[in-house]
Amino acid sequence: MAAGPDGKEGGHVDAGPDDRARLRVFRADGVATFPLDSGGLRGWLGEDWWADAPVSASPAASAQAEQWLGRKVQVLNDTDRIWAAREAPINLLQFDLTPRQRGWRRVHQAWQTLQTPTWRPFRWGLVGLIAVQVIGLNAMAWQQGRAIDARKTEQEALLRQAFPQVRVVRDARAQMVRETEALRGGAGQVGPGDLEDLLGAVARVWPQGEPPLPNIRFEQGRLLLAGLSPPQRAQLRDRLAQDPVLRVAEDGDALQLSLRPDNR
pLDDT per residue rounded down to tens, the chain (264 residues): 455 555 578 888 888 777 788 888 887 777 888 887 777 777 888 888 878 888 888 888 888 888 888 888 888 887 877 777 666 666 656 556 565 655 676 777 777 777 888 888 888 998 999 999 999 999 999 999 999 989 888 888 888 888 888 778 788 877 877 777 677 666 555 555 566 777 777 778 777 777 777 777 777 777 778 877 888 878 888 888 887 777 788 777 777 777 776 655
* Strand locations in the chain (E): 10-14, 22-27, 30-35, 55-57, 74-75, 215-219, 222-226, 246-251, 254-259
Give the pLDDT of residue 143.
Answer: 93
Q: Other CB atoms closer than 10 Å to residue 29's CB: what's the count?
A: 8
Query: Angle, to 10 degrees, between the axis of helix 120-162 and the axis of helix 172-186?
Result: 20
Distance in angstroms (rounded) separating the CA atoms of residues 109 and 216: 76
Report which of 106, 83, 99, 112 is spatially closest to residue 2, judged by C-alpha positions.
83
Q: Other CB atoms closer than 10 Å to residue 246's CB: what's the count?
A: 18
Give the pLDDT of residue 144.
Answer: 92
**Residue 23: strand pairing partners:** 13, 34
Q: Is the dihedral of CA 146, 148, 154, 160 positive or negative?
A: negative
Give the pLDDT of residue 135.
Answer: 94
Q: What is the DSSP letter of 9?
A: -
Give the pLDDT of residue 210.
Answer: 72
pTM above 0.85, yes or no: no
Q: Other CB atoms closer than 10 Å to residue 85's CB: what's the count?
A: 13
Instruction: Classify residue 200 by burial, with Cβ atoms within 10 Å: 0-12, 13-18, 19+.
Output: exposed
Query: Angle, to 10 degrees, between the axis of helix 195-205 and the axis of helix 230-241?
Result: 110
Give the pLDDT of residue 102.
Answer: 59
- 1, 14 Cβ separation under 8 angstroms: yes
Residues 6+ apart with CB under 8 A from 49: 9
Long-range contacts of 41-45 (CB under 8 A, 24+ apart): none
